[in-house]
Structure 1
């Protein structure tokens, strides 16, 4: 069976508090986008994992797809499988690509082997793998709080808009990104601000990671300016990574200065 794990953007991201467990509380709307990987899982005589496409750093045994298999195998009599991941979504990009791979592994194993896990149960397994993983179980727009793995319903719908994602071939680790943030409680709810017209977000909706990462990596601020110059009604960095996105009223024309970067565009 083959599935296509997607990625996500953050519509606003506020870091509100450092937790006693070392993580941070945040406020953000996670919104799925179509830039994705390819994952195949088939029964096999013995377990095997392989990958192609973009190189995945670190020990292969630490891959989140393998960890997803193992957390289910601890509770269920899963047979061996062969897993192949074709990696397309850039790593360290703030798009949640690895988290999506893990969540889609859980969902695919649940379906393939009739484990009959509910959405809530799958989310609990996903939370064991990473803060962003649980979002990709439902994989629909959700307002996220706590570590990003507690969800509230949202009516935000960007259907009809177009998106351009620009990854400047610069990987930023989660640890590096969080090292520069200063948690603070916002005076105005991000959830309420997101209910306004997208045309007004430029002045109100902000990703807190931009405050420390833009001075450190000026190319990020430059790309954001160029997205607005190309006609975006709203532009932002997504997550704690280095990808910038622009939301457009019509299919955007990719500026020449982006051609040396990894770029994806589509309809929301």
Structure 2
């Protein structure tokens, strides 16, 4: 069984404050992309994982392994699965790659070994972004990310640019806590209208961006590079370091990605679209 695990971007990320349990209250518009990782799964007597394309652990330190173990355990399966993760997204990049891989693993194993299992419950225990990828559509995410409201954003062409900086999500939120620069809810209606109109500026923001950029100035270079390439409304996705900017259409995105790749040959650059 071959499974695609899409990346995501945040078309705006507001951090409303810190909860009593230490987590953060979020308000974000998240969309899946046509770019992502791939997984291969086949039935086996035991659970095993191998990773191609990245130096990642293949045991319980890996979210794919934990997702598979959680499903097999909840389903009461005596069998396992041989899983191969083809890692194509950069690590610690704000694109939700690990969470998407985990959600895709849950869905694939549910198809391989059908059982009465609470997939959303398993997803939330694995990580705050995993329920979004299990949903599989654009959504407003609230709470820690578990309260999801599907929304239509329309097709978008864009360019992703990662300058080779790995950012810990935990540290990004700690840096925001230090500043206390929490933000109000996104104006989702205005964002969706701006996207539909192809506006040069879209009224979204990322509450984490200022503190992350202050510690990783190369991310600001990436944001400026996207605009200099003729794209609009650049923004950092999630906790970074991947940035994105919108294009007029797929051809515009491809041309801009080629220009950026020539200027920054060591950076990870992708022309893509929303799903």
Length-normalised TM-score, structure 2: 0.89
The structure whose residues are more often helix, as a share, is 2
Shift of 1:140: 0.9
Rounded Cα–Cα distance in structure 2 between residues aligned with 1:77 and 1:46: 13
SS of 2:111 mapped into structure 1: helix
How do 1:86-235 residues align onto structure 2 when only pairs under 5 Å count?
86-115=86-115, 117=117, 121-157=118-154, 159=155, 161-181=156-176, 182=180, 184-186=182-184, 189-198=186-195, 199-200=198-199, 202=201, 204-235=203-234
Rounded Cα–Cα distance in structure 1 between residues aligned with 2:22 and 2:221: 32
Q: Which residue of 2 aligns with 1:261?
A: 267
The change in CA–CA distance for 1:222 and 1:211 in structure 2 (over 3 A counts) is same
Rounded Cα–Cα distance in structure 2 between residues aligned with 1:267 and 1:175: 28
Contact residue 18 and residue 183 of structure 1 kept, 8 A:
no
Contact residue 12 and residue 190 of structure 1 kept, 8 A:
no
Residues 152-195 of structure 1: CA distance to partner in whole angstroms, max 9, x if unpaired? 132322x1x32110111110011211111135352x64323323
Alpha-carbon RMSD across the aligned residues, in angstroms, is 1.8
Contact residue 49 and residue 58 of structure 2 kept, 8 A:
no
How do 1:229-248 residues align onto structure 2 when only pairs under 5 Å count?
229-248=228-247
How do 1:29-108 residues align onto structure 2 when only pairs under 5 Å count?
29-56=29-56, 60-78=59-77, 79-108=79-108
Superposition misfits of 4+ residues, deviation over 4 angstroms: none
